[in-house]
Structure 1
Amino acid sequence: MDASSKPTCHIVKPGHAYDGKQGLSYFQGISAETVGAKGICMHLLTMPPGAEAKAHLHENHETAIYCLSGQAHTWYGDRLEHHVILHAGEMMYIPAGVPHLPANLSNAPCSAIIARTDPNEQESVVLLPELDGLVAV
């Protein structure tokens, strides 16, 4: 193996944003697209007041969220029948295949670091439009 094909470390500054299928804008971070990651994706999300994602799931990948500031409401379950509020300093785990819909119902931005076991930024996102009307946000 020559030095040019040897894995190396990378610093990523989340300056570039992209619009996710879920309807939110993410700051690009660690992913297959940015650094050639093989098993993880991590990015920064800031939801402005009133922002709401589309109902979705990540088919075969787990998600871990650390809320940096603000708070986010998340409805989850087969019919979005469960509800939690994630506050700054708390973490949330979403198993693979669990439908969920996050929203910022406050009047302040909510920022979080999101990590998934899918190295691709959007590959495992499955939109669930049939669930979008179930929650009165």
Structure 2
Amino acid sequence: MQEQANCVIIRPTEQSAFAGKQGLDYFAGIAAETAGSQAICMHMLRMPAGARAKAHHHESHETAIYMLSGTVEMYYGHQLEQHAVVHAGEYVYIPAGMPHFPFNPYEAEAVAIIARTDPHEQESVVLRPDLEQFRA
């Protein structure tokens, strides 16, 4: 008989924050490590004014983002040739393997909820130093 999964409540604290390979700090949420999830992770990202990620993609995993507050910009595409501005209340979908580079050039902090089809937040992160020349 297979063991029954259980519901898990995560109460993030400053101590549960972690530095991602992308160069940003995340607040631990739902992941294999915190909740035993099998196919999804979900975290909160607080992007201070002037914060910039490293160019990267997520191998074989889709990403969904909901902007809670603030505004961020993102370059994306195979050579980061596309540009988007994302405001509070908007959603973003990033296909698996899509290079992207988010940054906050504004004076206010931006806060987002990020969900990915990878239960291990950092395992599918592939840094793309070859695209760093395209960063804003």
Q: Name the CA distance, whole Å, in 1 between partners of 2:30 and 2:129.
A: 28
**Residue 58 of structure 1 contacts residue 125 of structure 1 at CA under 8 Å; is this kept in 2?**
yes
Q: Name the CA distance, whole Å, in 2 between partners of 1:129 and 1:20.
A: 15
Query: Match of 2:4?
Result: 6
Shift of residue 6 of structure 1? 1.9
Tell me how large the CA RMSD over aligned residues is.
1.0
1:7-44 Cα offsets, whole Å, 9 max, x none, are: 00011112210000000000000000001100000000
Partner of 2:23: helix, strand, or coil?
Answer: coil
Q: Name the CA distance, whole Å, in 2 between partners of 1:80 and 1:14.
A: 33
Q: Name the CA distance, whole Å, in 2 between partners of 1:110 and 1:50.
A: 10
What are structure 2's unaligned runs of at least 5 residues? Answer: none
Partner of 1:14: helix, strand, or coil?
Answer: coil
Partner of 2:105: helix, strand, or coil?
Answer: coil
**Residue 55 of structure 2 contacts residue 135 of structure 2 at CA under 8 Å; is this kept in 1?**
no
Partner of 1:122: helix, strand, or coil?
Answer: coil
1:29-84 Cα offsets, whole Å, 9 max, x none, are: 00000011000000000000000000000010000000000011010001100000
**Residue 65 of structure 2 contacts residue 114 of structure 2 at CA under 8 Å; is this kept in 1?**
yes
**Residue 14 of structure 1 contacts residue 43 of structure 1 at CA under 8 Å; is this kept in 2?**
no
State the number of aligned residues: 134
Q: Give 4+ residue runs of structure 1 displaced > 3 Å after superposition.
A: none
Matches for 1:23-102 after TM superposition, within 5 Å: 23-102=23-102
Give the percent of matched residue pairs that are identical in Structure 1 and Structure 2.
Answer: 59
Shift of residue 133 of structure 1? 1.8
Shift of residue 135 of structure 1? 2.3
